[in-house]
Amino acid sequence: MKSNYWIKLYHEMNYDLKVHTLSDRLFRRMTQCFLFAGEMDEDGRLPPLNEMAFNLRVDIEQLETELFNLTECRILSIIDGSYYVTNFTKWQKARTAAERKSYQRSKEVKEIHHLLHDQHDIVTICETDKIRLDKDKIRLDDSSEPAEKPEAELFNTFYRATLLAPGGSKVKDNKYHATLSSWAKKGVTPDMITAALEIAAGKYTVTGPWSLNTIMANLIIKREQSHAALEGYTAG
């Protein structure tokens, strides 16, 4: 790296599911590890455990447990007895033209994130909080289906998988269609909705398409990165 007094932190961290699963303590420890790796400037290698514990003023056994937890989610790796920040050199090096193009395109994903102000719609499932489907109340007819494609395809896929249709209030109805319209503009496909529902199964209560926004944003980023890698390969 050219500098050892600052490091890069990527916007993608806001959409990385494994980062969102970290506790506040582990998130802080992860950031401190990034800084240590930048200071060391040895391909992501961290200082010895006792040195880190002294600098952070924490118990060495506690620190060792926290670093092990970070290895479980692949943020850190252990190589030849030393802790490393996984792919640290890769993320700190200058971006290629293809990567810069991919980043520019993926900035549009932020628009999806604006829909996440209703975070109470995404809650952890417990024994008394299951996805409830009232088949007697919900009916699919021609009047409830959006007229325009590809939004109509997204509606059909989501409804058939969840039996959750628009309705109940004007605000909720607008929110339902606004989410699908935003997905359609971002090129979301029915297969991506199916994948998002599979990821959410057993983890989140799905009350409408907006409940999948965080997962969908991550899937869009991965798709953009995959496209960029393919472009780089074919260009080479």
Domain chopping of the chain, boundaries? 11-92, 97-235
pLDDT at 71: 92
The predicted model scores a pTM of 0.43
Most confident of the ranges 1-10, 35-44, 110-119, 160-169: 35-44
CA triplet 12, 15, 20: central angle to 5 degrees? 120
Segment 30-83, tens digit of pLDDT: 999 999 999 888 989 999 999 999 999 999 999 999 999 999 988 999 999 899
Lookup: tokens for 84: 């490393």
The number of residues in the chain equals 236
- Is residue 88 within 8 A of residue 37, CB to CB? The reply is yes
The DSSP secondary-structure symbol of 187 reads: T
Topology of the domain covering 11-92: Arc Repressor Mutant, subunit A (1.10.10)
pLDDT at 104: 65
Burial grade of 73 (CB within 10 A; 0-12, 13-18, 19 or more): middle
For the residues 142-171, what does the mean pLDDT come to?
69
**Model pLDDT, residue 106:** 61
Question: Is pLDDT at 128 greater than 50 in this prediction?
Answer: no
Tokens of 173: 């109805």
SS3 138: coil
Element (H, E) at 35: helix 24-40
Q: Locate 217 and state its tokens.
A: 């944003």
Span 154-158, average pLDDT: 86
pLDDT of 130 > 60? The answer is no
Mean pLDDT of the chain: 76
Out of 127-136, 156-165, 189-198, 205-214, least confident range: 127-136
pLDDT exceeds cutoff 60 at 210: yes
